[in-house]
Structures are given as structure tokens and as C-alpha cells.
Amino acid sequence: MVFEGLSPRLLSVLRFRLALTVTAFSAYIIGGYYLFPFSLPVMTSVTDRLIFTLRWQLLGGLTLLMGIQGVGKMRAKSEAASDPIKGNGEHLVSVQNKILRNTLEQFVFHFIGQLALCTYLSPEAMKTIPVLVTLFVIARIIFQIIYPIDAMKRIFGFMSTFLPTVGVYVYCLYCFLTQ
């Protein structure tokens, strides 16, 4: 099990943070869908919806740029870390590399899910895409800020990108199997 070996107190804290995270991102998605003033273009075909979705993915891709910048800043701070070939300073950039790797993994997962999702959504429901993308960006920024400070608190940023994407996959699989 994932939480095996954790103290009861730490397990309780993680459960609370997870519940808080699910509540926060659920409120954001629902509120964003109904309250954010998105002006959607006319999308009469799946191609139009794919183009709209691809354009929004540029924002999510910026989180990768932030991760690359984080690694670059750490390399610039140390001569040992500045030359990855020598390997003398890789420990100095290990946290930033983990953040970047996780962001890349999450972005690929998110990106593929959104491409599939837009093929199942009606044109009116396409405002879901900007809501999910902005949630992804905000959560990744939070993840990148908090991870180096306290890795155990990263659950909010991680789960706010992971769980909505899992929800997208579940919805898409349901649509795939029932249509």
C-alpha cells in the first residue's frame, strides 16, 4: 500500500490535505465552469474543438518552461552543478529535476486526456478545457513553489493536477465504451 509505514499522525495529516485538495479543486472546476466569463469561439466540428484544445495546451506547456528555468537557475548558482557531464553537482539540482520530471509526466497525462475529452464534449461544454488548463497551471505553480520547501506538502499541487486528469480519463473511457 502507498501509505504503509507512515505514522498515524502523518497519515491523518495526509488524509486531511487530500480531502482539502479534492474540495478545493472540485469547487474551482464547478465554479469556473459556471462563473468564469469565457467567451468561446464557434466550434462546429471536432476539428474546431481539437484546435481550441491544442491552443489552450500552450498555457500548460509553460509549466515545463518554469521547470526548465528552475533547473537552469540551480545550475547557474554552482560551478559543480553547471556541468552535468561531470556529474559532480547533480545532487544540487536533484529536487528541481524531480519537479521538472513530475511536471512533464503530469503534462503528458493531462494533454492526452484533454485531446480525447474535447472529442466527446459538446461545443457548449468546451469551457471545461480552459477551466482544467488553468487549474493545471495554478496547481503546478503551487507544486513547484512548495516542493523544495516541504515535500510532504506537495500533495495539494500534485493531486490538483493528477485527480482531475484521472477524472477526465474515466469520463473519456466511459464515453468510449458506451458510444
Is residue 101 within 8 A of residue 158, CB to CB? The reply is no
Number of Cβ within a 10 Å radius of residue 8: 7
- Structurally, the chain folds into a number of domains equal to 1
Q: pLDDT tens digit string along 84-128? A: 767 777 788 888 999 999 999 999 999 999 999 999 999 999 999
**Residue 91 counted as domain residue:** yes
pTM of the model: 0.87
Mean pLDDT score, 3-16: 80
Mean pLDDT score, 65-77: 90
d(CA 2, CA 16): 16
Range of the structural domain that residue 122 is part of: 8-37+44-178
Give the per-residue pLDDT at 3.
Answer: 62
Give the sign of the dihedral formed by CA 157, CA 160, CA 34, CA 36.
Answer: positive
**Residue 151 counted as domain residue:** yes
Burial-class residue 13 by CB neighbours within 10 Å (0-12, 13-18, 19+).
middle
**Residue 103 counted as domain residue:** yes
Q: Supply the CATH number for residue 73's domain.
A: 1.20.120
Give the per-residue pLDDT at 143.
Answer: 94
Q: pLDDT tens digit string along 23-58? A: 988 999 999 889 888 789 999 999 999 999 999 999
The C-alpha angle 135, 69, 128, rounded to 5 degrees, equals 15
Average pLDDT across the chain, whole number: 90
Q: pLDDT tens digit string along 145-158? A: 999 888 778 888 89
**Residue 1 counted as domain residue:** no
